[in-house]
Structure 1
Amino acid sequence: MTQPLLQPSVDILSARELHLVEEPPPQLSPDHQRARDRIWDEKAQANPGLFDGPVVACAGLDQAGPDTLALRWTRVTYRHYALRWVPDAHPLPSLFVDVLQPTDGGALLAGRMSPLTATPGRWQLPGGSVEYPDGNDPLDTAALRQNAVRELAEETGIDTSPEDLTLWGITRGTTGNIGVHFVAPRRPASLMRERFAAVISSAAASGSEPELDQIAFVRSPADLGTLHGPHVDYLGPVVHRYAPAST
């Protein structure tokens, strides 16, 4: 079945400033903890690529001013999201960052997740879940930029400076997940293919699995129909919103 190109239930929120406020982690009942751990262990056994590392969950997103959003976040681990399969549990939405990496011609780079990832075969923008900072370092927009450039480099081999990323928008997905999207300076498509090929070659030489196994360039939501496999819910709306602005 062909996936819809546009998903209106995905909200795209514009903001010039994003304030991040930490909250205590959620309290779970003993029954929910046991069910969470059982489901996580089953999924981790089925997919060795899963790991229970530190990650940020979104506790709320509020309008704090005409051009400002306040994002409330908390510290969890990936195990927390096993609550999605626990009846009557209420897991917090995930928080992720990604990069709109345009070509010189205005197309956006999209990547397909490799088989050993948590979402094999899924197309998305380069990015990933946000990890909370060490020690007393703040989680702010600067830290989100650092997360975004690290994901871009790891997945595609494209290096860019955090200062070169511009906050483009925030999405609230169909399941409530919050995405913080940054746009990077334009680069030649040939350079992006070259850098990605180097990532694939390096992974093969080390016997590891790359996070992305394929990339493509999309100019409009219609291009998503040519991609083999599903795509994240925000991809169509983001491409739709970006395309007119890029022209």
Structure 2
Amino acid sequence: MTEPPAVELLRARDVRLIETPPPELSAGERSAMDRVWEEAVRANPDLFDGPLAALTGLAWEEGHALVLSWTRATYRSRALRRVPGATARLPSLFVSVAQPADDGSLLVGRMAPWTAAPGRWQLPGGNVEPPGPGEDLDLAALRRHAARELAEEIGSDTAPDALTLRLATRGRGGSVGVLFLAPPCPAALLHERYAALAAAEKAEGHDPEFDRITLLRSPDELTALDGPHVDYLEPVVRHLAETSA
């Protein structure tokens, strides 16, 4: 029997988000979740239990609109994935950005040692946070979040309106990422902006979230990266290479 692909590419023309109540956890599930989370924090004290928008469902509407149901949670809830028999898994909802250079290559970054995924290569992006009072979680909010991630991780000043919805990805664990495409930028300028960001972070006593960036010209170059990469990276890089050829 053929094994299903690790990541599914969801070619959505629009994304709509619906807030749902959080799942009810049994006392045993909550206790196990807290235990796994505390073990993770002991292993990596930089982990924090901040707010998180977790995925609770996915559906399609007519016209290829992707409907994502989400709930308010915290990073602690991700520990449920490591609890055997847990009825609530709460996959991640995240954004990512394909930042091409003017020569057609694609920027990827390696997560710093202090992050939750040290040494892992990925596109700029991050987990979605719940909106504040009076704010909506919609496609415009996802664009703004993606633009902030570009600024914080690679020093880009791309405006949210310049980001184009490209597709969404869904991994075997159910996590969904909404992928935006940024306008092409000269390769030298991408490296210059990242270097300026890293220097500014270090001057303030911090290490940048990406400890290194590189530009990929084909999916075959993924094997040369010094470290693992996120599950969506290979199919996304391949898709972008094929559709831009």
- Category of TM-score, reference length = shorter chain: over 0.9
Deviates more, 1:200-209 or 1:71-80: 200-209
The 5 Å alignment of 1:129-144 reads 129-144=127-142
Taking only aligned residues, the RMSD between alpha carbons, in angstroms, comes to 1.1
Aligned with residue 70 of structure 2, among 73, 82, 107:
73
Q: Counterpart of 2:90?
A: 92
Pick from 182, 185, 190: which aligns with 2:183? 185
Report the residue type matching 1:21 in the other structure.
I
Separation of aligned partners in 1, 2:244 and 2:187: 16
- 1:184-235 Cα shifts (integer Å, max 9, x gaps): 0000010010011112111211111211000011122101011100000000
8 Å contact kept, 2:168–2:177: yes
CA distance in 1 between counterparts of 2:111 and 2:26 reads 34
Runs of 4+ in 1 over 3 A off after TM superposition: none
Paired positions, count: 241
Residue 9 of structure 1 and its aligned partner are, at CA, apart by 2.6
Q: 1:4 aligns to what?
A: none
Larger mean Cα displacement after TM superposition, 204-213 or 153-162: 204-213
Specify the code of the residue in structure 1 equivalent to 2:199: S
C-alpha deviation, 1:87, in angstroms: 1.1
Normalising by structure 1, we get a TM-score of 0.95
Partners of 1:174 and 1:233 within 8 A in 2: no
Residue type of the alignment partner of 2:111: M
**How far does the alpha carbon of each residue in 1:116-150 deviate from its partner, in whole angstroms, 9 at most, with x for none?**
00000000000000011101211000000011000
Task: Give structure 1 stretches of 5+ with no counterpart.
Answer: 1-6
- Equivalence map 1:23-102=2 (5 Å): 23-89=20-86, 90-102=88-100
Report the Cα distance in structure 2 between the residues aligned to 1:65 and 1:137, rounded to whole angstroms: 26
Once residues 8 and 191 of structure 1 are traced to their aligned partners in structure 2, the CA distance between those partners, rounded to angstroms, is 36
- Aligned counterparts of 1:214 and 1:133: Cα–Cα separation in 2: 30
Which amino acid letter does the alignment assign opposite residue 232 of structure 1?
V
Deviation by residue 1:78-125 (Cα, 9 ceiling, x = unmatched): 000011111111311100001100000111100000000000000000
- Taking structure 2 as the reference length, what is the TM-score of the superposition? 0.96
The equivalent of 1:233 in structure 2 is 231
User: What is the rounded CA distance, in whole Å, between the counterparts of 2:113 and 2:146 in structure 1?
Assistant: 22
CA deviations over 1:133-177 (Å, ceiling 9, x no partner): 101211000000011000111000011110000000000012111
CA distance in 1 between partners of 2:81 and 2:16 (Å): 27
- Quick one: percent identity of the two aligned structures? 55
- Judge conservation of contact 1:8–1:237 (CA < 8 Å) in 2: no
